Chain A
Amino acid sequence: MSNLSAIFKNHKAFIPFVVADDPDFDTTVANIVALAEGGADIVEVGIPFSDPIADGGVIQAADLRAFDAGVRTQTVFEIVAAARKQTDVPIVFLTYLNIVFKYGYDAFCQKCQALGVSGLVIPDMPYESRDDIVPTADKYGIDIIPLIAPTSGHRVEKIAKAASGFIYVVSSLGITGERNEFFNGLKDLVAEIKSYTDVPTAIGFGVHTPEQAKDMAEIADGVIIGSAIVDIVAQKKQAAPEAVEAFTKSIRSAVDEAQEARV
């Protein structure tokens, strides 16, 4: 088990996301540093995949830019290693399972441990398949971050009870991407999760403004923002780090304003 859970102690966490090697190696390293400087508690680094079935157009396009830059799994590790020279911000990977499977679960988790990567978010690995990797991840102190969705229903209990690190609460149905409406039962969903576990929760999928970030941080222990940051990278390209840091600061202060939700 990693130190991820401790980050949320008496503190609302902000977890931004960037895609590795989008648009290139150096910009990604600078973006990770900018996110840390801007006040991110955990940086989520996406490993590009040819067929990202849980992701919307913004992240799909970022994956394609990374492939244009020639990204390999090895490149992603090198990016984190380079960022590690400038920041010790906690990092988790967002990756589809096949990338990890092909690298080898043991070799991949070992590499994560060496790079100080604390956890893996694997959107295409449900509870039923977690035993494929969890024993190996445990060996290296890597948390496998589970997702809980508005549709999880009776599954919430078993997922929550088995969780470590934090729980990624999916804000709405469908795929990643900016949106203005969320599942209206999020408060109840988070409360239900809390009734089963002390593992903290973070809400993601679609959050893109400071106001939304504040709202979500009031419901859960943290908030995850992906597509909005990836969109800045798409617009600004190599000049992204400055804009990414400014955006991160605006979200940071919004999240800090969030009050403990009364649930």
Chain B
Amino acid sequence: MKNLTEAKTTKRLGIFANTYGGQYIPETLMTELEKVDHAFHTLKDDPDFQAELHDLLINYANRPSLLYYAKNMTEDLGGAKIYLKREDLNHTGAHKINNVIGQALLAKHLGKKRLIAKTGAGQHGVATATIAALFGMECEIFMGKEDTDRQKLNFYRMELLGAKVHPVTTGSMVLKDAINATLQEWASRSEGTFYVMGSAVGPYPFPEMVKYFQSVISKESKQQLKAKENTLPDMVVACVGGGSNAIGSFADYIDDQNVKLVGVEAAGKGVDSDQTAATIERGSVGIFHGMKSLFLQNEDGQINPVYSISAGLDYPGVGPEHATLAKEGRAQYVGITDDEAVQAFEYIAREEGIVAAIESCHAVAYVEKIAPTMSKDQIIVCTLSGRGDKDVASIAKYKGVDIDE
């Protein structure tokens, strides 16, 4: 194994299309970032590391995840054939585990004993707490106070797994505030601590690294669909908050120009309302949380509060590669409202017997709209990024149903 602690010199790294990405983070964290970059680029080509990663993905995380033909939805919608990439069946119930296993292995090779992370819906926090338990590492999770209230079940799950969860009470007390708090914690104690980035956002190398570990989603779906249909899909659909499951779902198809890529953003109460998280449709170019990308912000560059029923999608920015795919027209980004997502939550439960995460149901809602407009010989692959158990109580509340938690 090569020397991982020797940081290499970096310059203007991670710039997409001459515009997005880069490194915009306090100097205090730059040396640490260089070490992470060096470790990642050394280890990803290391056969021992790959063997360890694959062993955990297969034997611990339950990969490969199923590519399931949604026959009932296909027949009901009467258009394109719909396949669901079942990341909800992974251990811990979401795609987040793919990336967390990879980064925690890096942390282990760097000799780190403590993992810190931010979480929105709690899925990334749960995945991080899970791997910390498995690896015998300390774990601290930062979660907006609003989100700890919305996602009580995941809050408790993280504590059950031995993590210390810090409810963040600054700002609007949601995901972006949790990221601020995690960055501050990292700056205070970077020695011995690894920041497990959950989304395809932040300074280089995080967006590239998260994409790398999540690209297992599209590598698998491509092979699985080839085995079932002997063809590529016509369209790949995934929900986008920061964009980790979407970039993983797109990654292996980006060079296949005939495969249409659609990212579904949370429009909250409407793309044109003030209560939205539709960053690509409504945002403008800015520099925040370590990267140049698109953000919901005012004309002075102050970051706007954002809103979505989904705690996992209400982030005011988006990963730099998504901003680039949008700019280049390689991927299309659309908004789905709270109402549409809740309807899809019920729809997929009744049609397919799958309770999917409210985040993923934004993608499902788009499939409901687009599939009927496509022909029966076309194929959509839609990623179900997570399972919806965590959302049952809040959806019941949204529908005005009183249930005991």
Q: Which residues of A contact B (CB under 8 A)?
A: 49-54, 56, 60, 67, 72-73, 97-103, 123-129, 131, 146-155, 159, 170, 173-175
Contacts and interface: CB of A to CB of B under 8 A. Distances in A.
B188 to A, nearest CB: 3
Nearest to B300: A73
Given A102-B300, A153-B7, A53 B184 contact: yes
Contacts of A153: 7, 31
B28 interface: yes
Contacts, number: 121
- Measured as residues with beta carbon below 8 angstroms from the partner, the interface class of chain B is 35 or more
Nearest to B29: A151
27 contacts: A51-B176, A53-B26, A54-B28, A97-B24, A98-B287, A99-B301, A101-B286, A101-B287, A102-B301, A128-B11, A128-B12, A128-B22, A129-B22, A146-B27, A147-B26, A147-B28, A151-B32, A152-B30, A153-B7, A154-B7, A170-B27, A173-B28, A173-B189, A174-B28, A174-B184, A174-B189, A175-B188
A151 B190 contact: yes
B103 interface: no
B171 interface: yes
B232 to A, nearest CB: 38
A175 B303 contact: no
Dominant SS among interface residues on chain B: mixed
Given A129-B22, A159-B27, 11 more contacts: A54-B184, A102-B300, A126-B25, A126-B26, A128-B11, A128-B13, A128-B22, A131-B12, A152-B27, A154-B31, A173-B187
A174 B171 CA distance: 19
Contacts of A103: 300-301
A146 B295 CA distance: 26
A102 B27 contact: no
Interface of B: 7, 9-13, 22-32, 170-171, 176-177, 180, 183-184, 187-190, 285-290, 295, 297, 299-303
In the A-B complex, the 3 residue pairs with the closest CB atoms: A102-B301, A174-B188, A98-B301
B187 A174 contact: yes
Contact of A175 (B31, B187, B297): B187
Contacts of B285: 101
A257 to B, nearest CB: 30
Given A102-B297, A175-B188, A123 B26 contact: yes
B25 A124 contact: yes
A101 B301 contact: yes
A60 to B, nearest CB: 6
Contact of B23 (A53, A60, A128, A150): A128
Contacts of A129: 12, 22-24
Query: Which among A51, A147, A155 has the highest number of chain B CB atoms within 10 Å?
Result: A51
Given A51-B180, A128-B10, A175-B187, A149 B301 contact: no
B31 A152 contact: yes
Nearest to B170: A60
B15 to A, nearest CB: 10
A14 B24 CA distance: 28
Contacts of A99: 300-302
A150 B32 CA distance: 12
Contacts of A54: 26, 28, 184, 187
Contacts of B188: 173-175
Nearest to B22: A129
A51 B286 contact: no
A101 B292 CA distance: 10
B76 to A, nearest CB: 44
Contact of B30 (A51, A102, A127): A127
A51 B315 CA distance: 13
Contacts of B177: 51
